[in-house]
Structure 1
Amino acid sequence: MTAGKPKLPIAVAIPTKNEGLNIAEAVRSVLGHFEAVVVVDSHSTDDTVKIAEECGAEVVTYTWDGGHPRKKQWCLENVRTDLDWILLLDGDERLSPGLLAELRATFRDPAAPKPAAYDIPLGYWFSGKRLRHGYTIRKRSLTDRTRCHYPEVGDLDAPGIGEVEGHYQPVAATVGTLTHPIEHQDLDPVTAWFERHNRYSDWEAWLEQHPEVKEQVRQVKSRQGQLFHKAPFKPVVSFAYMYLYKRGFLDGRAGFDFALAMSFYRWQIALKSRERPMR
């Protein structure tokens, strides 16, 4: 327990691979507040496992066999299944104090009716600065595993994603919304962001060339994601939406850099999808 408070009846699963710079903050933000904190590691070659264990987390190894389930669904099926509720937290994320308090209020009465999942806003950091305006993503990070699952879309052969599900949400019949954020504060250099999004753009370009799979993905995205999925001129629309409509310019240089980086990401997708067939 923490300061006499009972632990939340939730298992926190933290999927990782080479998150040595970030994992300590992720674990410390949840340890002692939840019934279980489990790092699900994919054979990291850095100090991720050692640091996680030193911080007090349980560590289990995940090995992808090239099929389903992928890593997040595997967590739903295997991580502390004695607890119905599971919170998936990336290795470069951490809970805000406000979210922790909100979760305590939400789960004060374990028997009270609850939706099958909760969407949680993401507080995004880019190039060392917290973005306050241009980025408004919500993640379906908290789910009742008995009522939710990740869809099995037909993208196992797509490049760029591999063992982890792509940019889509778990399926839930009913969804609630929490107001306080998960903080996404990646301590890796910005080059890691570009390397990661270069891989993501390979996956997105593959989807453009496989419209039947693209439609499967669109159907399991958030409402905002579904609308943007169909938008023309995505690089321009992305920049205008984030920097102008969502007032990313109020975040100064970081707001401009992030809006431009995301626009460049959308341009990469379009260019790669036109270049040649991606098998």
Structure 2
Amino acid sequence: MDPMDRLPLVVAIPTKNEAENIARTVSSVIGHVQAVVVVDSHSTDDTCKIAAELGAETVEYTWDGRYPKKKQWCLDHVHPEIPWLLFLDGDETPSPELLGELRSVFAGGAPSVAAFDIPLGYWFAGRRLRHGYTIVKRALMDRTRCRFPEVGDLDAPGMGEQEGHYQPVAASAARLRSPIEHEDLDPVNTWFDRHNRYSDWEAWLELNPQVKEQIRKVKTRQGRIFHKVPFKPLVSFGYAYVYKRGFLDGRAGLDYALAMSFYRWQIGLKTREQRRPGP
């Protein structure tokens, strides 16, 4: 594609050991945007080698244990001369429909809103889910008008260098229709390993209500509502499998609803364990 016809944005891909997925992610955007940058946290596999061979820039990232964390670092340092930045995980690709929608968005010049929320086309256990949870992430933003909040969770386990489950703060935002496809080619046990760590962070928040309230305020509307409901494992399963008709996705829909319910159960169990008085 002629460089003059490329979308006026940079794609940042935060990675660590994504050799299984990174080729597909880089290939999906290279040539469509001004720059593709893999921001890598000392991978021990061929993540950077594969990305560089496909034309992406690679940058090594080392977290210093403080804020800013990794995504805000990307906003501050990855091609700062290009205001608009799209975040993709190492196992994500923009759908062809999304690329077309982005061309329409930028056809009239820089958008007036500061950020765009983009739905995820979520894959689980090898199948694309059409129902169940609706996941939306604020992935495209004008870095001059957006920033990830600095919440008091540096002592929390589970997240480390990555920002937690909250949105970047934007002066204004709109929602796009077309999805980012989130398809992880790694075995499903990596999903459970990752969510086991996430549940450590979520349990820590339950024991630190001031930080939990900070994070609640910067979640999506759906996230803010779910933050307060009781019996989260049961509500999570009922919402995804029954109300959002996850059963229409067959076995994969059942597996995902159960997995998310188990994740909520883990958070509650870890919280109760830590609240018990010691010996």
Q: Which secondary structure state, in structure 2, belongs to the residue aligned with residue 65 of structure 1?
A: coil
Residue 58 in structure 1 maps to residue 57 in structure 2: yes
Partner of 1:186: 184
Q: What displacement does 1:110 show?
A: 1.4
Relative to the length of structure 1, the TM-score reads 0.97
Query: How far apart, in 1, do the equivalents of 2:150 and 2:221 lie?
Result: 19
> Structure 1: how far apart are the matches of 2:133 and 2:264?
15
Unaligned runs of 5+ in 2: none
Alpha-carbon distance in 2 for matches of 1:240, 1:199: 24
SS in 2 for 1:157: coil
**1:171-225 Cα shifts (integer Å, max 9, x gaps):** 0121011000000000000000000000000000000000000000100000000
Give CA deviations for 1:62-87 in whole Å, capped at 9, x if unaligned.
10000010000000000000100000
Deviation of the 1:135 alpha carbon: 2.2
Match of 1:103 in 2: 102
Q: Helix, strand or coil for the counterpart of 1:124?
A: strand
Q: Describe how 1:170-249 pairs up with structure 2 within 5 A.
A: 170-249=168-247
1:214-252 CA distances to partner (integer Å, 9 max, x unpaired)? 000100000000000001000000000000000000000
Distance 1:61 1:5 in 2: 29
Q: Which one of 113, 116, 135 corresponds to residue 118 of structure 1?
A: 116
Aligned residue pair count: 276
Aligned to 1:15: 14
Partner of 1:256: 254
Distance across 1 between alignment mates of 2:247 and 2:157: 34
Query: What secondary structure is seen at the aligned counterpart in 2 of 1:36?
Result: strand
- What is the aligned partner in structure 2 of residue 30 from structure 1? 29
Which residue in the other structure is 1:77 paired with? 76
Q: Structure 1 residue 276: deviation in Å?
A: 1.6
1:147 to 137, 145, 148: 145
The one-character-per-residue Cα deviations of 1:42-93 (angstroms, maximum 9, x if unpaired) are 0001110111111110000110000010000000000000100000110011
Runs of 4+ in 1 over 2 A off after TM superposition: none
Task: Tell me how far apart the structure 1 counterparts of residues 137 and 24 of structure 2 sit (CA, whole Å).
Answer: 19
Residue 121 of structure 1 aligns to a residue in which SS? strand
Counterparts of 1:277 and 1:42 in 2: how far apart (Å)?
34
Alignment RMSD, CA only? 1.2
- Tell me which amino acid in the other structure corresponds to 2:133: Y
Percent identical pairs in the alignment equals 70
TM-score, length-scaled by structure 2: 0.97
